[in-house]
Chains A and B, each alone.
Chain A
Amino acid sequence: MDKQLELLQGTLDMLILKAVSLSPLHGYGVLLRIQQISKERLEIQQGSLYPALYRLEHQGWVSSEWGESENNRRARYYRLTAAGKRRLLAETKRWNEMTAVIAGILQATPEEL
């Protein structure tokens, strides 16, 4: 396994929105989903997932309800709301623009200037 990358500030919310956009998940499931997609290359403070989830719910981007987990335990499932969907799109667009710009800057060579 490669060395894990530390999460950039402010990106956790976006990742959570993406994770629950694929299917409703409980908190631990969000962690697993992100790790699965990122091939475990991101380091996520597990405890910090929950304040982020609460904050997203408070802002109306995800909603939650209690359901049954795979091993028949009670768990709280989060799903993306319509507002959350819009938010995710906007965030994704912003992120893509940002990375393109930054990548462009980082790839600049003296000849181009």
Chain B
Amino acid sequence: MKAWAQLRSWTSALLGRRRTEREMDEEMQFHMEARAADLMTRGVPAQEAKRQAKLEFGGMETAKEQCRDAVGVSFVETLMQDVRHGVRAMSRTPMFTVTAVVVLALGIGANTAIFSVVDAVLLKPLAYLDSGGLVTILMDGEDPVSVANYIDWRDQSHSFTAMGAADFWSPNLTSDDAPPEHIAGLKVTQNVFPMLGIEPMLGRLFAEGEDKDGADREVILSYRLWQRRFTSDPSVLGKTIVLDGNGYVVVGVMPQGFQFAPFWATHAEIWTPNAFGARIHDRGGNSLRIFARLGPGVSLAQARSEMAAITGRLEQQYPATNRNVVVTPLKEKVVGGIETPLLVLLGAVAFVLLITCANVAHMLLARAATRRKEVAVRAALGARRGRLIRQFLTESLLLGLLGGTLGLLLAVVGTKALLAMSPGNIPRVQTVSIDTRAAWFLLAATILTSVGFGLVPALQASSVNVSDTLKEGARGSSESFRRSRLRSLLVVSEFALALMLLIGAGLMIRTFAALQAVDAGFNPHNVISIMVSVAGSKEADAGPRETLYRQLIERVRSLAGVEAAGGINHLPLAGDSWGWPFVIEGRPKPRPGETPTAIYRMVTPGYFPTMRLPLIRGRDVTEADNTTAPGVVIINERAAQEYWPGEDPIGKRISFRDDNANPPTWLTIVGITKNAKQEDWVATPFPEVYLAAFQNKDFLGNPKSYFAYITLVARTAGDPASVATSLKEAVWSFDRNLSISQVVTMDGVVAEATAQPRFEMVLLSIFASVALVLASVGIYGVISYSASRRTHEIGVRMSLGATRGQVLLLVARHGMYLALAGSGAGIAGSLLLSRVMAKLLYGVRPTDPVTFAAVAMGLGVVAMLACYLPARRAMSVDPVAALRCE
């Protein structure tokens, strides 16, 4: 208690209370002495004069108390008293205190953790200067645009102070002292960085003119790349580094935490100026993402209508281009996809907090019943009702603050856990932390929660009828109807909330099951992939590259544990997917916008068997399909249906180029495969074509870094991860300068593709389980409490011949009614609320009757159990003992 004394004296000193007290004393003493002196001058004897002065003055302590009240000194004093009282009350019932604090900590901690994610991902502005004015301009709101279109937009628009473009780039970084590394990067127009308003940490941004042809040999590094590859050495500025075999001068290093682009290519670690060269007339190759800053005073609507006018004109001029160009605020583009899931999670976790409040309110009500005597005595001694309410609220706040403190710890741990399990595609998730904003949220949540669970019990507990309570004696059997109705209401709402959470979790579980049942087309089990890039190595040239690829595949096939192997340029789901237009031999030139388009991949012999992607008709590519043989291609089922409906595509010919400059190179369709998943796990596959890789000049010799690689796939007998090391060793046994990336199992790729629904499912399930436990504890508490209060009645009934079954029914009936009412309310609430989840669901409707029925029944069973346990105890009451007790 020494700490208390110290705290108190400190507070008093702080408020100058001791001085106030002394002065008050002195002032009143002076008054009485002066009065006594006056009386003495009138001839009253000294002793009598003092007595009379005191008498006339009245109660000095009362006066002082009123003085303190007048200036508010007593507020702190009372608070201290209440706190001390609260601490004593809490330490008298340690089980209650610990339970309440833990329950609160769970609720508050979980809310803070989710809030910190929502805050960092959704609420905070993007980390650029005046980021509210930044927009992105894309085809259909998501697809890239061609260089010529960008240039037209930039030159014709007036709504923007700047419009820049970014192009994907992934060079191979080679150096003498470290293994080569495939680095994600971007080619940007010079104006992009100034538009973002972020200064480099070291060096400078790209200068005017550095994005002109022939001058694009500068790079800016990210902080992480600078740390990782250049040991945070500031002298890297001005040095030349080798990317894809070419020298680039480092001109700057961006500050820590800088990220560009924010919604795609988010892992970019290196930037170089984008020189468009001959592409300034290109309206077909769509690869640019456009970023712009709205001019001062220009609204989004104005910019949109201006862009609509420009693109409308351009569409007339160049049909099939410039269709559906969308201007989106950059932040909306970044967080748009994750908004609904996060808000659903935030809502779910708020439900958990509500249940927590209801639960603790419960416990307080039960405890208040045992404290009625204490309250009555205090009221009889003159405590006003407001004073009692204040004391109860202080106790609640104490509980809440303890819970909040523990909750802070939980939030820190919980946030780490959340980040560890969160899918990789949540934007800005790396910036999540428990910061000041999260701390304020926690404090606000704590106070609101404390008032939330404390107010009703405080109002109830303070409204005692003094004489009745004191008269009642030890029995205290008659819990008022109002009180029990309130507790019932709490249980019903807990049940309703828990049911809604369980239905949410149930829907996610059904969604995830449906996702698991999706047929990938291929068999992802026991397959591992490895991406090998030859850019910048001595095998980059046409001849050596083909030799390397052939030998690599052979080497992988011969590895212990490997059953089959093959190669492809872009792995499905994990790799890029390029959509290329093509022409079909003998068909009239298609109308604009109706050009056949397909996803374009290049495969080596052995790829299809390794992936177990079955051929429906025709043949696989073989070793015989080489550069001297006629070109062949395999298409997927979807392409066959789309472009050769009612025809047999086998034997038909297509070409990926057909214009004046390039006469068609015909490729004969020789086989049709089953549809395989491409980019998105749930999307219906697009038409797709597989070219024979060993016939393709780009695959075998194009020096561009986006052609200079192969992705090897290997099917293993056992765990595919176990051959990862020998795969890498096999690659490096040819050349240490080959860069390796994306060593992943296909099972891992599939898991990644379904990571977000899994994340949502796991979190919702955790929240729902907590809710279920809390609600069960709630109903158990109510039933066992009322059973214990009715022991006497049960004794009477049993001695009058009531059977055990009747007693069971008597006790459990109430609880089951509550559970039923709660379930009804919960189902109604779910029917209203579950539609907000629609975007998260797959293969199941928000009002899925199976989920609703299963959850309601499951909850019913739990409720029965929670009622049965206390009821069983009531059944085993010995009537004699029950009657004798009390």
Chains A and B bind each other: yes
Partner-contacting stretch, out of A3-11, A68-76, A87-95, A105-113: A68-76
Max chain A CB contacts within 10 Å: which of B27, B33, B60? B27
Question: Once the chains bind, are B26 and A27 in contact (CB under 8 Å)?
Answer: no
Q: How far is the CB of B514 from chain A (nearest CB, A)?
A: 69
Question: Once the chains bind, are A50 and B63 in contact (CB under 8 Å)?
Answer: yes
**Chain A residue contacts of B37, Cβ below 8 A:** 71
**Chain A residue contacts of B67, Cβ below 8 A:** 50-51, 54
Q: With A27-B27, A45-B58, A46-B57 as known contacts, state yes or no: A51 contacts B34, CB within 8 Å.
A: no
The reply to whether the CB of B30 lies closer than 8 angstroms to some CB of chain A is: yes
What is the bound-complex CA distance between A54 and B72, given in angstroms? Answer: 10
- Give the contacting residue for B62; candidates A47, A54, A69, A76; CB below 8 A: A47
Q: How far is the CB of A89 from chain B (nearest CB, A)?
A: 23
- Give the contacting residue for A28; candidates B23, B24, B30, B60; CB below 8 A: B30
**Chain A residue contacts of B28, Cβ below 8 A:** 27, 50
Q: How far is the CB of B794 from chain A (nearest CB, A)?
A: 56
Question: B109-165: which residues lie under 8 A (CB-CB) from chain A?
Answer: none
What is the bound-complex CA distance between A45 and B33, given in angstroms? Answer: 16
What is the bound-complex CA distance between A74 and B31, given in angstroms? Answer: 11
Question: Once the chains bind, are A51 and B70 in contact (CB under 8 Å)?
Answer: yes
What is the bound-complex CA distance between A57 and B62, given in angstroms? Answer: 19
Contact with A along B774-794 (1 / 0, CB 8 A): 000000000000000000000
Q: How far is the CB of A77 from chain B (nearest CB, A)?
A: 11
Q: With A47-B63, A51-B67, A54-B70 as known contacts, state yes or no: A28 contacts B35, CB within 8 Å.
A: yes
The reply to whether the CB of A18 lies closer than 8 angstroms to some CB of chain B is: no
**Chain B residue contacts of A31, Cβ below 8 A:** 31
Question: Once the chains bind, are A48 and B70 in contact (CB under 8 Å)?
Answer: no
Question: Once the chains bind, are A47 and B30 in contact (CB under 8 Å)?
Answer: no
What is the bound-complex CA distance between A27 and B57, given in angstroms? Answer: 12
Q: With A46-B35, A71-B37, A76-B23 as known contacts, state yes or no: A51 contacts B30, CB within 8 Å.
A: no
The reply to whether the CB of A86 lies closer than 8 angstroms to some CB of chain B is: no
What is the bound-complex CA distance between A51 and B34, given in angstroms? Answer: 19
Contact with B along A48-65 (1 / 0, CB 8 A): 111100110110000000
**Chain A residue contacts of B72, Cβ below 8 A:** 58
Q: With A28-B31, A69-B34, A76-B23 as known contacts, state yes or no: A47 contacts B70, CB within 8 Å.
A: no
Question: Once the chains bind, are B57 and A58 in contact (CB under 8 Å)?
Answer: no
**Chain A residue contacts of B31, Cβ below 8 A:** 26-28, 31, 46, 49-50
What is the bound-complex CA distance between A26 and B26, given in angstroms? Answer: 12
The reply to whether the CB of B719 lies closer than 8 angstroms to some CB of chain A is: no
**Chain A residue contacts of B69, Cβ below 8 A:** 51
Question: Once the chains bind, are A74 and B58 in contact (CB under 8 Å)?
Answer: no
The reply to whether the CB of B71 lies closer than 8 angstroms to some CB of chain A is: yes
What is the bound-complex CA distance between A45 and B24, given in angstroms? Answer: 17
Q: With A28-B30, A73-B30, A75-B30 as known contacts, state yes or no: A54 contacts B57, CB within 8 Å.
A: no
Contact with A along B1-43 (1 / 0, CB 8 A): 0000000000000000000000110111011011101000000
The reply to whether the CB of B299 lies closer than 8 angstroms to some CB of chain A is: no
What is the bound-complex CA distance between A28 and B26, given in angstroms? Answer: 12
Max chain A CB contacts within 10 Å: which of B23, B24, B34? B34
What is the bound-complex CA distance between A48 and B28, given in angstroms? Answer: 11
What is the bound-complex CA distance between A54 and B60, given in angstroms? Answer: 14
- Give the contacting residue for A74; candidates B26, B64, B70; CB below 8 A: B26
What is the bound-complex CA distance between A49 and B67, given in angstroms? Answer: 10
Q: How far is the CB of A34 from chain B (nearest CB, A)?
A: 14
**Chain B residue contacts of A50, Cβ below 8 A:** 24, 27-28, 31, 63-64, 66-67
Q: Nearest CB to that of A57 among chain B residues?
A: B71
Q: How far is the CB of B20 from chain A (nearest CB, A)?
A: 10
Question: Once the chains bind, are A54 and B71 in contact (CB under 8 Å)?
Answer: yes
**Chain A residue contacts of B647, Cβ below 8 A:** none
Question: Once the chains bind, are B58 and A48 in contact (CB under 8 Å)?
Answer: yes
Q: With A28-B35, A46-B35, A55-B70 as known contacts, state yes or no: A74 contacts B60, CB within 8 Å.
A: no
The reply to whether the CB of B59 lies closer than 8 angstroms to some CB of chain A is: yes
Q: How far is the CB of A103 from chain B (nearest CB, A)?
A: 32
13 A-B interface contacts by CB (under 8 A): A28-B31, A31-B31, A46-B56, A46-B57, A47-B59, A47-B62, A50-B66, A51-B70, A55-B71, A58-B71, A69-B34, A75-B27, A76-B30
With A48-B66, A50-B67 known, 5 other A-B pairs at CB within 8 A are A26-B30, A27-B28, A28-B34, A46-B57, A76-B26
- Of all A-B residue pairs in the complex, the 4 with the closest CB atoms, nearest first, are A47-B58, A51-B66, A47-B63, A54-B70
